[in-house]
A and B are shown apart, each in its own frame.
Chain A
Amino acid sequence: MFDYNFHWRPVMRDLPDLIEAGLLTLQVASLAMILGILIALGLALIRLNMRGPLNWIATTWVEFARNTPALFQLFFFGFGLGAFGLHLSPYAIVLAGLTFNCAGYLAENFRGGFQAIPETQMRAARSLGMTATQAYLRIVIPQVLRIVYHPVTNQMVWAVLMSSLGMLVGFRELSGETQFFASRTFRIFEYFAVTAVIYYVIVKIILGASRLLASRLFRY
């Protein structure tokens, strides 16, 4: 059975391209996280404070993001919108799909975070003459960010890994690029082995950076 000969030379030749694709992966995941965090804050606040159509939209968003396969969410922004004549670029499809998914997951984390802050913190801030906005920005949200810090880090890792679904909508991020090279040379195992290592390194860098940042941010 063991008659497979490993050929690493082609992979090594394409390594710079793979690393560049890795950076693209990191970029799209980071952008999706930044957008996702902002939207998740909005979704969480809407679900906590509002009734009516906005609440319904936010709830539906969260439900779909959390309870359907991420792949289907990506396909929606690709083929789904395509069916209505709206054709996004592969990059936009992946960015939209990841953002949708991250926002939905993080919204629930944020909602829990907001609920964990006693209402009396808000009262104390308002009693000092702060506006509601000041109280949220200075008192509530910083404490929520600490509570959701680890879930957010996990979501970032998840976004990097999930972006590999991009290869199924023709996006040449790390997995798409690997697939492209692998099928050209038929060195499928070698390419994906090296790519797995690149993913691993990216994730380790994210986790390390996150830990460093946490030690700077949270002194209490």
Chain B
Amino acid sequence: MIEIRGLQKYFGALHVLKGIDLDVEKGEVLSVIGASGSGKSTLLYCINGLEEIQGGQVEVDGQNVHAKGADLNKLRQKLGMVFQQWNSFPHLTVQENVALAPRIVRGLDRKAADEIAERQLAHVGLGDKLRVYPGALSGGQQQRLAIARALAMEPDYMLFDEATSALDPELVGEVLETMRMLAEEGMTMICVTHEMGFARDVSDRVAFFHQGVMEEIGPPSQIFGEAQSPHTRGFLANVR
């Protein structure tokens, strides 16, 4: 379970997250929507400790992420992350991209790591691309590679930061399909997204962020049907 209490985040003088309170239960799929610059990516970075925080706290399975001496490298194994820019490692084959972290972070031997990579790549539909370099893949394939790479750490949570925003429109579907599959398998997910169809159909809850504040959170029927905040309604009117 992820528990966020009174989270404050500044970049210098810029107040980016203004007291966020949020719980994400095991097995839940939460979509995070909101205008660009509202602090959605920063929220994810605060959850896996890629960013420091200035107030409040974040706990993952009871472990305080920002405590002094917290073992972030260990914690991040629980928290898979997929970025907007898919960030394949271009100098490694598709299989090596996935097998590397299981080997050097989890300490598996080469054979076991390769097997995990094969399994996860088959899972996202890239089973026939093992020896190819990422440069030869489409954006959608590279993003699925990024998902397989995160899954190979056998995480308990997956954080998606606009996983489809940088893709050509015709490639968005295959990545959303993969995310939907994970959700159906029971993965706990926080998905920052601009895909309102996905947010509505796949998530258990949707959170709307506005200028560093979580203005509204609730089931999709509430957010998309009877949003309380005028900001939410305004935002949704514009993206549709």
Contacts and interface: CB of A to CB of B under 8 A. Distances in A.
A128 B149 contact: yes
A28 B45 CA distance: 49
B90 A120 contact: no
Interface stretch (A46-54, A130-138, A154-162, A196-204): A130-138
A129 B76 contact: yes
A55 interface: no
A128 B153 contact: yes
B83 A131 contact: no
A134 B105 contact: yes
A125 B101 CA distance: 8
A143 B50 contact: no
Interface in A127-154: 127-131, 134, 138-139, 142-143, 146
B91 A146 contact: yes
Contacts of B106: 129
B-side interface mostly: mixed
Contact of A129 (B85, B91, B105, B146): B105
Given A123-B87, A129-B153, A219 B133 contact: yes
Contact of A121 (B77, B89, B133, B135): B89
B133 A128 contact: no
Nearest to A124: B87
Nearest to A132: B73
Contacts of B90: 143, 220
A84 B50 CA distance: 51
B240 interface: no
Interface range on chain A (Cβ under 8 Å from partner): 20 to 34
A130 B83 contact: no
A129 B73 contact: yes
A127 B100 contact: no
Which of B100, B106, B153 is most buried by chain A, counting CB atoms within 10 A of its CB? Answer: B100
B105 A124 contact: no
Given A123-B50, A219-B133, A220-B135, A128 B85 contact: no
A16 interface: no
B74 A129 contact: yes
29 contacts: A120-B85, A121-B89, A123-B50, A123-B87, A124-B81, A124-B83, A124-B146, A127-B79, A127-B80, A127-B81, A127-B83, A127-B150, A128-B76, A128-B105, A128-B149, A128-B150, A128-B153, A129-B106, A129-B153, A130-B73, A130-B101, A130-B104, A130-B105, A131-B73, A134-B104, A143-B91, A218-B91, A220-B90, A220-B91
